[in-house]
Structure 1
Amino acid sequence: MIDFRDHPHIRALLAIGMPARDYAIAGSWPLYARGWIDAPGDLDVVARGVAWRVAAAAGTPRPAPYDGVRHVWFAARTVEVLDGWFPSVWPDVGQVVDTADRLRGLPFANLDVVLRTKELLGRPKDHAHISIILANR
């Protein structure tokens, strides 16, 4: 299995200093952490409470391009911390954070969240990722 904790994006995330109880790593990273895909180009992190306040204080919160969510970029725009995750589906960010899977001590959005997100986005890579998730259930 890959050692995703050595990836520069994960090191950059950990350097922010957010408490792991208040965030979940989302996007394609839950697949990468399981060794199912190559490393994604960026790291999406859904944060609430203290984690969001730490990220917001360390960067510059700006509106994300969808759903009224705010985000902060770190590490040359390779780590994105967001204060929501598709609020039309998960109006409470705690739904994503509280159900996260722990892999090597880090919280990753569970596969149901990843699958629903990939279905919403519907890009070519999302279709490939959906197939991978379904094949590994």
Structure 2
Amino acid sequence: MELRRHPFVRELLSLHLPPNDYVVAGSGPLLAHGLRQDVSDLDIVARGDAWKIAVSMAEATQPPSGRGLMVVLFSGDIEIFDQWLPGTRDADDLIDSADFIQQVPFCPLAEVLAWKTRSNRDKDQQDIKLIKEYMGIV
């Protein structure tokens, strides 16, 4: 799949965020690896100049997790966070460990698997199964 054709990825790239200052988290990495064809939005963890760009476009508010701040853009298609979920590595570690797929930084699938397993929400069960199958984990 050509990621740049996906409407959310096009919106993300239109922001011109510095690629070393953000990472696509949430279910976005499953889209990048072809494990899902559709996601409800793109969750972005940002720092430095990428975060400055985000807060210049919309007001930062408290996210549902209660951790850090978030900026919602494109009617919710893009959600940019200054921190990720409770119990995960800090933003710098997540961003520095990004896998670049078609020049877009994504969280490694092992990281996605860890937080989806920890959260263990009903909506994560299929993603956990897909990641495990992809990674050869039974």
Give your verdict on TM over 0.5. yes
Hey, which bits of structure 1, 4+ residues long, moved more than 2 A?
none
Structure 2: 5+ residue stretches without partners: none
Q: Deviations over 1:93-124 (max 9, x none)?
A: 11110101010010000112101121132222
Instruction: State the distance in 2 between where 1:89 and 1:105 align.
Output: 24
Paired-residue identity, % = 35
Q: TM-score, normalised by structure 1?
A: 0.92
* CA displacement at 1:49 relative to structure 2: 1.1
Instruction: State the distance in 2 between where 1:105 and 1:16 align.
Output: 15
- Counterpart in 2 of 1:36? 35
Give the CA RMSD over aligned residues. Answer: 1.2
* CA displacement at 1:87 relative to structure 2: 4.1
Q: TM-score, normalised by structure 2?
A: 0.91
Matches within 5 A, 1:89-128: 89-90=88-89, 92-128=90-126
**AA matched with 2:111:** V
Partner-residue secondary structure (3-state), 1:50: helix
Instruction: State the distance in 2 between where 1:88 and 1:133 align.
Output: 20
- Counterpart in 2 of 1:56? 55
Instruction: State the distance in 1 between where 2:123 and 2:64 align.
Output: 20
**AA matched with 2:47:** R
Name the count of aligned residue pairs. Answer: 135
Instruction: State the distance in 2 between where 1:68 and 1:31 align.
Output: 23
